[in-house]
């Protein structure tokens, strides 16, 4: 998924966040799986451009299009921050959706198995979002209810005390050309905020 570092939080004496180049791993390089897993451990986020093939992206887009036209698709918009101008629905796991997600999982598996440390990770959920021009900017948040780390937090558990989860975002639209003057919806990430090591992912260590 594409990512763009956000403005660092004030206070705490921490250094500026790494640039996108530091968060990007070349999937054509030998040993990219280990480097991607290491980046996730260090920063809580990794960008893997060109990992998925054009065919895989087309299959995901087709599954999304089918879900968009199906009135039975679960609608998440009431749970969405700044929902105006956004369509947010589930990606059904039948037919095309299952095949598309299986292909993505197989491609990511060399990284996932190292990060999740299991041979059979459960799928917690799958969904998609379409953002229209003029939609409001969302404030920084973590897509795990109750676990945002940029506000004040209490004591956080160490990484070996809690289960791990991995969020995967696939950009079907090119947002690489986004700028502050001409934003096009690129994902912004505060490096460190999603680290699996809770103690080092707290406000003072981001």
Which is more confident, 97 or 193? Answer: 97
The values of phi and psi at residue 90, to 5°, are: -75, 155
Which is more confident, 69 or 195? Answer: 69
What is the C-alpha separation between 32 and 140, in angstroms, rounded? 29
Which is more confident, 178 or 47? Answer: 47
Contacts of 6 (CB under 8 A, 6+ apart): 17, 140, 188, 189, 190
pLDDT band at residue 3 under the 50/70/90 scheme = very low
**Containing domain of residue 179, as a range?**
4-205
Residue 97 has pLDDT above 80, yes or no: yes
Residue 178 has pLDDT above 50, yes or no: yes
pLDDT band at residue 155 under the 50/70/90 scheme = low
Whole-angstrom Cα Rg for the chain: 17
Average pLDDT, the chain: 77
What is the C-alpha separation between 102 and 106, in angstroms, rounded? 6
Spatial contact of 47 and 2, defined as CB atoms under 8 Å apart? yes
| Dihedral, 45, 51, 56, 60 alpha carbons, nearest 10 | 20
The whole-model pTM stands at 0.74
Which pLDDT value is given to residue 9?
Answer: 31
Which pLDDT value is given to residue 21?
Answer: 82
User: Of 11-20, 92-101, 141-150, 156-165, which has the strongest mean pLDDT?
Assistant: 92-101
| Residue (of 203, 71, 90) closest to 148 by Cα position | 203
Q: How many residues does the chain have?
A: 206
Query: Considering its fold, how many domains does the chain have in total?
Result: 1
Residue 11 has pLDDT above 50, yes or no: no
């Amino acid at each position: 998924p594409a990512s763009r570092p956000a403005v660092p939080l004030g206070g705490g004496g921490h250094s500026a966040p790494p640039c996108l180049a530091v968060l990007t791993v070349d999937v054509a390089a030998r040993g990219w799986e280990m480097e991607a897993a290491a980046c996730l451990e260090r920063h809580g986020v990794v960008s893997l451009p060109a990992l998925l093939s054009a065919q895989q992206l087309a299959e995901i887009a087709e599954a999304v299009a089918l879900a968009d036209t199906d009135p039975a698709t679960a609608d998440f918009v009431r749970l969405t921050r700044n929902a105006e101008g956004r369509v947010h629905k589930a990606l059904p796991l039948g037919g095309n959706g299952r095949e598309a997600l299986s292909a993505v999982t197989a491609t990511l598996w060399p990284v996932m198995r190292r990060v999740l440390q299991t041979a059979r990770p459960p799928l917690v959920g799958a969904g998609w979002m379409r953002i229209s021009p003029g939609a409001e900017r969302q404030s920084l948040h973590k897509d795990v209810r109750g676990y945002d780390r940029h506000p004040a937090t209490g004591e956080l558990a160490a990484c070996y005390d809690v289960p791990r989860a991995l969020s995967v975002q696939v950009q079907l639209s090119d947002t690489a050309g986004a700028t502050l003057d001409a934003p096009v919806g690129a994902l912004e990430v505060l490096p460190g905020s999603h680290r699996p090591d809770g103690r080092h992912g707290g406000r003072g260590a981001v």
